[in-house]
Amino acid sequence: MPLLEIENLHVEIDGKKILKGVDLAVNAGEVHAIMSPNGSGKSTLAYVLAGKDGYEPMAGEVRFDGKNLFDMAPDERAAAGLFLAFQYPLEIPGVATMTFLRTALNAQCKKRGEAELSTPQFIKKVRDAAGKLGIDQDMLRRAVNVGFSGGEKSATRFCRWRCSNRGLRCSIAGRRLPCTTRAPRWIFWRRRS
């Protein structure tokens, strides 16, 4: 069974048809890159999957891990492992990246009925994830995305996804991926371990 299965998805915004019958199946462990012209609906698809307000499906079905995604609230989708990495991540002055990470992870644990992470568990998880991505610990003490370079923003949002240790990442990666074409794209994948 695919991890993500999209069937005949139609989305309309302000009376304008944006997605007209999208089909996509993503198996666990696979990486999919979707490339299309600007304004053709890649972000719209990501928003519909994440459950952003105003982006409602008109027709079609989406199953995530076998469950009907549209029966789930956005926070339930996140707790089940769907992660949307923003194309333009917001800066949050006054909130340390560490605090943000911990709050997000614990909110997901709570939603899944799991115990919150203890301080040592959390520190280990973040250190492991940050270490693998070459993120300096000092950066995690800085306010979320404030003054981060484009690459540092990408690395820290990837770190957030790695810490959650499960699920599907929808990344609106823009031009940052090493690739032969400069078209915007998405990648979807799931950790194997």
Ligand X SMILES: Nc1ncnc2c1ncn2[C@@H]1O[C@H](COP(=O)(O)OP(=O)(O)OP(=O)(O)O)[C@@H](O)[C@H]1O
Looking at the Cβ atoms of 21 and 39, the one nearer to ligand X is 39
Looking at the Cβ atoms of 13 and 123, the one nearer to ligand X is 13
- ∠ Cα 53 54 56 (to 5°): 100
Examine residue 25 and tell whether it contacts ligand X (CB under 6 A): no
Among 8, 17, 27, 39, which residue sits at the site for ligand X (rule: CB under 6 A)? Answer: 39
Of residues 23-62, which lie at the interface with Mg ion (CB under 5 A)? 42-43
Examine residue 14 and tell whether it contacts ligand X (CB under 6 A): yes
CA atoms within 13 A on the CB side of 189: 11
Examine residue 88 and tell whether it contacts ligand X (CB under 6 A): no
Smallest distance, Å, CB 44 to ligand X? 3
Question: Tokens 């079609």, residue?
Answer: 60
Examine residue 38 and tell whether it contacts ligand X (CB under 6 A): yes
SS3 sequence, 147-189?
Answer: CCCHHHHHHHHHHHHHHHCCCEEEEECCCCCCCCCCCCEEEEE
